[in-house]
Amino acid sequence: MVEGHTVRIGCGSAYADDDLELAMDMLERGDIDYLAMDSLAERTLGLAQLRRRLDPSSGFDERLPEIAERVLPLALDRGVKVIGNMGAANPEGAGEFVAKAMHLHHPGVRIAVIRGDDVLQFLKDEDPTIEETGGRASALDGEIVSANAYLGCESIVSALADGAQIVIGGRIADPSLFVGPLAYEFGWSVTDWPAMGRATCIAHLLECGVYVTGGNYADPPFTPDFSLDSPSFPLASVRPDGSARIEKLSATGGLMSSMTCKLQLGYEIHDPRAYLTPDVSADFSNVGLVEEGGGVIVSGATGNERPPRLKVLVGVRQGYIGEGQVSFAGPGALERAQLARATVRRKVDRLLDNGDISEVRYDLLGLDSIHGAATPSTAPSPYELHLRVAARASDAKVAAKVALAVEHLQLFGPAGTSGHRRLVRPVLAMYTTFVDRSRVSEAVQMLET
Amino acid sequence: MLVRDIACCRAGDKGDVSNVVVVALQPEHYQLLLQRLTVDRVREHFAPLVKGEIKRFEMPGIGAVNFVMQQALGGGVSRSLAIDPHGKSRASLMATIPIS
């Protein structure tokens, strides 16, 4: 820990299906010290738990074989440490998989596995109150299959202090994957709230990958002209005072500007004075974002004491969604699509009336499917339209019946009804509760390749 | 003039809560947003989509207002029947609100 040095940390993944080529490019050309890889959206972990039930050796990021074969070896060659929550529902299994896969060509590498996020037993023992329903967990409709607490940066700091080159956890909070290495490198105490707030701000800008380098932004002609080819993950060059420069790799598409950073700063936050993570209640209200030499300087974040309890996401199996779609084109497409909608509605609403389905929606894709009744009434009559019906049922057969009712419009519906599609999928609903930190037994286990 | 003419918007989700951040293009546009893009105006525009409370938070450092809408995503990504379960297209709906 040299006084005054700069730490470069890059994003290597922002969700379970993100493009590993961008992680490779970051390692090749980013001149980084750390690569942080987030694999988990709200539902990902519950789905991973279901996979692990079928095969106890699975349950981690499905990209792990490729990560172990390509990303981690390149990181080691470049002296880059990798921190990730790719362990998902099985961090131990993920650690063992990586150790085994890399043993031959990279012996002696230290891999830290962080455990303790799985709090299913706590949920069963304590039966806590669920945020969304106000009732107890046991009163939730459906089988509870997962309960995972969001862990913070502390175990990452201790794993790095213990010489880990690869850190693998389960439900470690996205920003903590970045906050951990920064706290370790700069010697920031994990109870130095302003420092944790500054680190969390940098993390928040990086954690969604290409969303800060031009993704979800182009709106011609209102936005600057830039290419959507060859995106780059972002990286931050962080100074000991906690200010940082956010950059993207050279010779890539996308855009790094104060606006792309401002939009990302506001992404998925609620009160900007209290952005809650396991590490801190971060205050982004006075953050400044200034363009400088192709990058953006971020400063001004601070923080207050972290929340006393950890957030827990609870995965519950809740029946099925049945979905059917048919398409219409040419003159009168709108009238025929509306006739089809009214027809199938009379049939499917009977299932709603007798309680076989609990919720249904009838959308005309191309007209009002996205903003519903809030759609401004300025749109011209479209040349083509798609009728989509989606319904929730506890019984898969009923869900299939709804999907089939839509398909049958192709036989006995308006002229030219075509292009049927149908789908029945199980629902894994996510609910929120909280757990005292003292009830979570977080632990670091060190493996060697 | 619409929100789209003076600001960029981005929508995100956490469970059943949708947030849309509206970032002014210029400092004077931030003042316009503060005056005209009120919670009442947004509630009126989003009424069919949002069952719960709507709150506005100010971010003067970056010239933005952030709208946080409860019970806004049909139960959230994991349960929603909607074609856009994340509600990311809500940013475009915000952009259509008339400012003057």
- Each residue's pLDDT tens digit, A388-440: 999 999 999 999 999 999 999 998 999 999 999 999 999 999 999 999 999 99
Cα–Cα distance measured from residue A345 to residue A357, given in angstroms and rounded to the nearest whole number: 13
The sign of the dihedral angle between the CA atoms of B30, B32, B35, B38 is: negative
Is A115:A91 a contact under the CB 8 Å cutoff? yes
Which residue in A357, A371, A389, A424 has the most chain B C-beta atoms within 10 A of its own C-beta, making it the best mutation to test that interface? A371
Strand order in the sheet with A234-238: A288-292, A295-299, A244-248, A234-238, A7-13, A34-37, A81-84, A166-169, A110-115, A443-448
Q: Determine, for residues B78 and A427 on separate chains, whether the beta-carbon distance falls below 8 Å.
A: yes
Per-residue CA distances from B62 to A290, B2, B8, B31 (Å): 10, 20, 12, 12
pLDDT at residue A1, as a whole number: 43
| Token representation of residue A79 | 């002296």
Q: Tell whether A272 lies on the interface with B, counting CB pairs under 8 A.
A: yes
- Which residue, A360, A364, A333, A336, is CA-closest to A349? A360
pLDDT at residue A3, as a whole number: 53
Q: Which CATH number is associated with domain A314-432? A: 3.30.70.100
Q: Give the chain B residue whose CA is nearest to the CA of A263.
A: B10
Q: Determine, for residues B78 and A376 on separate chains, whether the beta-carbon distance falls below 8 Å.
A: no
For A15-74, the pLDDT digits (tens) are 999 999 999 999 999 999 999 999 998 889 888 988 998 999 999 999 999 999 999 999
Confidence of residue B100 (pLDDT cuts 50, 70, 90): confident
Cα–Cα distance measured from residue A192 to residue A280, given in angstroms and rounded to the nearest whole number: 9
- Residue A2 reports pLDDT greater than 70: no
In order of start, what are the domains of chain B with their CATH numbers? 3-95 (3.30.70)
- Which residue, A172, A235, A205, is CA-closest to A39? A172
Cβ contacts from A onto B, under 8 A: 130
Provide the 3-class DSSP secondary structure of residue A322.
strand
DSSP class of residue B71? S
Cα–Cα distance measured from residue B93 to residue B20, given in angstroms and rounded to the nearest whole number: 10
Residues 6+ apart with CB under 8 A from A44: A15, A16, A88
Q: Determine, for residues A269 and B88 on separate chains, whether the beta-carbon distance falls below 8 Å.
A: no
For A122-160, the pLDDT digits (tens) are 999 999 999 999 999 999 999 999 999 999 999 999 999
* C-alpha distance from A360 to closest chain B C-alpha (Å): 7
- Residue A312 reports pLDDT greater than 90: yes
Q: Which of A43, A359, A373 sits opposite B77 (nearest CB)?
A: A43
Q: Tell whether B27 lies on the interface with A, counting CB pairs under 8 A.
A: no
Cα–Cα distance measured from residue A176 to residue A341, given in angstroms and rounded to the nearest whole number: 47
Q: Which of B15, B68, B79 sits opposite A432 (nearest CB)?
A: B15
With contacts defined as CB-CB under 8 Å, which chain A residues touch B46? 374
For B8-48, the pLDDT digits (tens) are 999 999 999 999 999 999 999 999 999 999 999 999 999 99
Residue A194 CB neighbour total at 10 angstroms: 16
Is B27:B64 a contact under the CB 8 Å cutoff? no
- Residue owning tokens 């009424």: B47
| Token representation of residue B26 | 């210029």
Whole-complex ipTM:
0.95
- Which residue, A207, A210, A221, A301, is CA-closest to A260? A210
Find the farthest-apart pair of alpha carbons in chain B and give their distance in angstroms, rounded: 41
Which residue in A140, A267, A299, A360 has the most chain B C-beta atoms within 10 A of its own C-beta, making it the best mutation to test that interface? A267
Partners of A115 in the beta sheet?
A443
Q: Determine, for residues B15 and A269 on separate chains, whether the beta-carbon distance falls below 8 Å.
A: no
Q: Where are the domains of chain A?
A: 7-116+151-307, 314-432
For A323-373, the pLDDT digits (tens) are 999 999 988 999 999 999 999 999 999 999 999 999 999 999 999 899 988
